[in-house]
Chain A
Amino acid sequence: MTNNDQLIINKVLKGNTNAFSELINTYKDLVFSLAIKMTKNREEAEEISQDTFVKAYKNLSKFKGDSKFSTWLYRITYHTCLDALKKNKKHTNSFELNEITLNLIQTTDNALQTLERKERTKIMDKCLLQLPEEERSILWLFYYKELSLKEIIEVTSLSEANIKVKLHRGRKKLLTIVKDTFEPETIAHYGRK
């Protein structure tokens, strides 16, 4: 957490409610992107992000600064998303995990490299959204937000072993999904290279 965050938090706790808008501006996109990755729905993610900030405001006095403010916000976002998902009873499809070979990783990598960056990011985003929500959010927090395992434990309340398993499964599933978005001939073509 930056000193600036702590200064703003102190201001808010002293009664300057408007100072909270500075924290919203700093963290809104981080919160929103995690919410959208978990819910796969823009409107729902917007609602959850709003709820997250209102909850954070109400409980600001409980934030002791032991962790980063962003980690604390992620924790609220993650659990608000889980509650919303439970309420809506959304279930993601289960996947059949194939064996991961070095050749599969390389051919999929080669196939992705032939695409324009814009198209590639679009495909990757689409593929990521097909993962089960917990694996998706853990993968997002670990690779995109670059949170450490310790921070992910704080956010999700899961054990380290459990997070490691979900990370590994998530990686394997993501590769399988990406591979499946390409025509088998394309993969075969890059496999021969």
Chain B
Amino acid sequence: MGENKHIDELDAFTKKYVKEIKIDKTPTNFTSSVMDSIIAEKSSNALKSSALISKKAWFFIAASLVTVLFISFKNNKENAISFSKFDFSFLEKFQALNLFENISISKTVFYSVFFFGCMLLCQLVFLKKYFEKQLH
């Protein structure tokens, strides 16, 4: 009860004198300086490019790579990959020949092309950074 003693008088006292305090004014160039910060922030955001390949896409690429490698190493008894194994019979529906029937490539060529592709994808990251630097 003692805590709330004379609460109204104390409230009136505080209101009376706090209200008299003068408000602090900002410096004259305040608005222009805030606007400068906002415009600088806005232009820096405009230059920021979003990732070419999203995290989800990277995950998908990594998962595909692991799967392909796993399958390849599991079936390493076979020496070559032949396109004749693939079923291109659906192409007959378009009254065309199965062009890939007689094409076969060695595993070395297959892996070379595959890893070349992977390295090219990785280079995209470096190329992106390079062009970003050029822009700045």
Q: CA of A55 to CA of B119 in the docked complex: distance in angstroms? A: 41
B6 touches A100 (CB 8 A): yes
B35 touches A20 (CB 8 A): yes
Q: Mark B6-33, 1 if CB is under 8 A from A, else 0.
A: 1101110111111111111111001111
Which residue in B10, B26, B27 is a CB contact (below 8 Å) of A105?
Answer: B10
Please, which residues of chain B bring their CB within 8 A of the CB of A170? Answer: 14
B26 touches A46 (CB 8 A): yes
Q: CA of A109 to CA of B11 in the docked complex: distance in angstroms? A: 12
| CB neighbors of B among A120-152 (8 A) | 120-121, 124-125, 128, 139-140, 143-144
B7 touches A112 (CB 8 A): no
Which residue in B3, B7, B22 is a CB contact (below 8 Å) of A121?
Answer: B22
Please, which residues of chain B bring their CB within 8 A of the CB of A32? Answer: 24-26, 30
> B-side binding surface: helix, strand, loop or mixed?
helix
A121 touches B2 (CB 8 A): no
| Interface assignment of A174: CB less than 8 Å from any CB of chain B | yes
Q: CA of A102 to CA of B5 in the docked complex: distance in angstroms? A: 9
Please, which residues of chain B bring their CB within 8 A of the CB of A172? Answer: 10
Q: CA of A186 to CA of B18 in the docked complex: distance in angstroms? A: 22
Q: A17-B42, A101-B6, A168-B3 are in contact. Are A33 and B24 (CB under 8 A)?
A: yes
B23 touches A143 (CB 8 A): no
Q: Which of A22-30, A63-71, A80-88, A154-162 contacts B (4 or more CB under 8 A)?
A: A22-30
Q: Considering the complex, give the chain A residue whose CB is closest to the CB of B6.
A: A102
B23 touches A33 (CB 8 A): yes
B18 touches A140 (CB 8 A): yes
Q: Mark A1-45, 1 if CB is under 8 A from B, else 0.
A: 000000000000000011011001100111011001100001001
Q: CA of A46 to CA of B24 in the docked complex: distance in angstroms? A: 11
Please, which residues of chain B bring their CB within 8 A of the CB of A73? Answer: none
| Interface assignment of B39: CB less than 8 Å from any CB of chain A | yes
Q: CA of A28 to CA of B31 in the docked complex: distance in angstroms? A: 8
Q: Considering the complex, give the chain A residue whose CB is closest to the CB of B42.
A: A17
Residues of A within 8 A of B (CB): 17-18, 20-21, 24-25, 28-30, 32-33, 36-37, 42, 45-46, 49-50, 53-54, 57-58, 99-102, 105-106, 108-109, 112, 117, 120-121, 124-125, 128, 139-140, 143-144, 168, 170-172, 174-175, 178
Given contacts A53-B38, A57-B38, A175-B14, 11 further A-B contacts (CB under 8 A): A17-B42, A18-B35, A32-B25, A46-B26, A49-B34, A54-B38, A105-B6, A109-B13, A124-B20, A140-B18, A143-B19
Q: List 5 A-B contacts (CB under 8 A).
A: A46-B27, A53-B38, A54-B41, A100-B10, A124-B18
